[in-house]
Structure 1
Amino acid sequence: MRQTEVGIKCPEDAKLPRGARAGVMKPNQILRSVLAGVVVAAVGLVFVAVVYRLPFSWLLSIAAGYGAGTLINRAGGRNGGPVAMIISVVAVAAPFLIVRVVPSILAGVPAGNLIFAIIPMILAAVTAAVVNRQV
């Protein structure tokens, strides 16, 4: 008998199929996650352009990061793990960098004011990554 996550089982039943391991994504799951990440980044360009004009942009960024992370997680078969976390962070951070951070740097915005463009990006990216972690 062997101890498993769900109790004691015989050795034959204790072996998980290769594709059933949590946090290990199959190639088709990675592809679907990447495609979802591209969609998230495309929609994120419009979202970031609009959200900075609204009050509570930090809270909206957290909500958007959660939604993007959930979409990428579900597109990848709810398997999560490091690959899904990286896809989520890149897909969420890219629109912030393209629309807000890089133009601010090129315009010569002081570092003290630049932090207001970076913090919402970090909050959204961390939230998207946390949604995809496997415990």
Structure 2
Amino acid sequence: MSNDYKNYSRKELLEALDSIDRDRFPERYQMLVEELRRPERNSSEIKEKERIAEKRERSECKGIFILLVSSFFYLWSIWVAYKQQFYLGRHKGRLITFEDNPEIFVAMVVLTICIATYLLYLGIKVLTSATKST
């Protein structure tokens, strides 16, 4: 079985080099080392492209995480509105219901929806900026 390491990115080559069993596969190990030593693999242009790709990947992960948090706030606000009650405070918190205090209850639900909407905006902004930086 022959591996063609020419199609691997520098990052993938380094990961393969870290995970390969040098004693069991000395030929493959040597092929990896030789591929990493090739002059075109070490040009600053390629390293810059890989750095940008890695930065874009991290931005996409951040955007997805923000969207997940936003989804949590939307779902939580829907649940609170359905149950018409929530606790304000961590331990032995005050129970706020729509019947007892409708103004505060509605304000808290609206605040939660505003937070979710802002997080949705941030998540979309991060994702679109990650795709524009290609």
Question: How high is the TM-score relative to the length of structure 2?
Answer: 0.32
Question: How high is the TM-score relative to the length of structure 1?
Answer: 0.31
Higher relative contact order (CA 8 A, sep 6+): 1
Answer with 1 or 2: which has the greater Rg.
2
